Chains A and B, each alone.
Chain A
């Protein structure tokens, strides 16, 4: 192993150990500011990916962003057109902002997000998507102008990001998130089998519960999803990514 990747390992392990004893979010932000600045990062955010009903500011876990940028980003609802957020939903691999595709001609909103970000020294960036248990989606995105991003530094940053996210999650306890808390595991299972074309009786056989119980789970899911029937409940659950088939 080269000397420099050894240093990065020490840096990353040290960061992880220090995080464990940090008691609050401001402490995490300070530690991240210090450790990420070594790699040239000036700004960062840890955020959940909002579903259609959530506003961006409701899902942000922590941030060190220029105030002006956060205001514009929220006001203009950029989260719906941000190519970085879009790519986050579709990959589990870390990526540089420049790798997030968009069509400058056909998608001027996406171009606007990326262009205006540079006004706030957010020219280049590195984004770490997080796909948690029960469909919880989040990311840590960090940016700056002169970044030390290479095959030597990325593994350390990747690891540091996962632990920064985890410490933040512990401190805020958004647990697999209200979105997934919405339905119980049984309700999700019942809807999944409904989506697969199974009747309540079939589903009961598969799950080893009575047909009546299956119907009760589905009725309860309908209520929570504000759906008038099973079909709409399945559609909504898929839309919110509570179930997948």
Chain B
């Protein structure tokens, strides 16, 4: 059965194999399938500057196999929207201790028609609620918008769509709420909590150095 595992700097040692799978899948999905050629690497692992000690991964793992994943990163630190995509934002880059950036979301091809999508979306809401995170920001292809909205997510655009690699993309903020979590769970017939925390996952919201704010 598929469960979503919380992996932070504190317990990463327990998940080294899964994290390596995640990096390799990211290369398959984002570079080979979606054509984000700027991320191409010869070793077939997609790893960037934000895969550091502040990154939090929520990975859907089924019997040792990673079938989907996503990454959260503090917006008080330089992050993708502030460093790479500031032009996508016309209303100011949201930066606060309780706002995280949500990146590298994907589900492996053979699981895209099942519940894995909703499971990951629910896991993101659930994790953020537990950690006191109020909002996540992301740059995504426009076709994500109706999917999020149908999952019950409240989405606020941060700017107009702009074309990246020939795809209309948008910077947006997604509100974290019990209502959204309930909605996406209901949609997929998921009952109750599904996050797994092994070892010490620490309180990410308190780990960001105050100096950078």
- Residues on A lying within 8 angstroms of B by beta carbon are 1, 5-6, 8-9, 12-13, 16, 92-94, 130-136, 155-156, 158-159, 162, 165-166, 169, 175-176, 184-186, 188-189, 192, 196, 207-208, 243-245
Contacts and interface: CB of A to CB of B under 8 A. Distances in A.
A244 B112 contact: yes
A9 B159 contact: yes
A12 B150 contact: no
A245 to B, nearest CB: 8
Interface string B97-114: 000000000000010111
Interface residues of B, number: 30
Interface stretch (B32-40, B125-133, B138-146): B138-146
B157 A13 contact: yes
User: Can you list the 7 inter-chain pairs with the closest CB atoms, starting with the nearest?
Assistant: A92-B143, A208-B1, A155-B161, A155-B160, A166-B149, A133-B150, A132-B150
Contacts of A196: 110
B176 interface: no
Interface in B149-197: 149-151, 157, 159-162, 167-168, 170, 187-189
A93 B90 contact: no
Contacts of A1: 90
A176 B170 CA distance: 23
A5 B160 CA distance: 9
Nearest to B148: A133
Given A185-B188, A192-B113, A208-B1, A155 B162 contact: yes
A13 B188 CA distance: 31
B113 A176 contact: no
Contacts of B147: 131-133
Contacts of B145: 162, 166
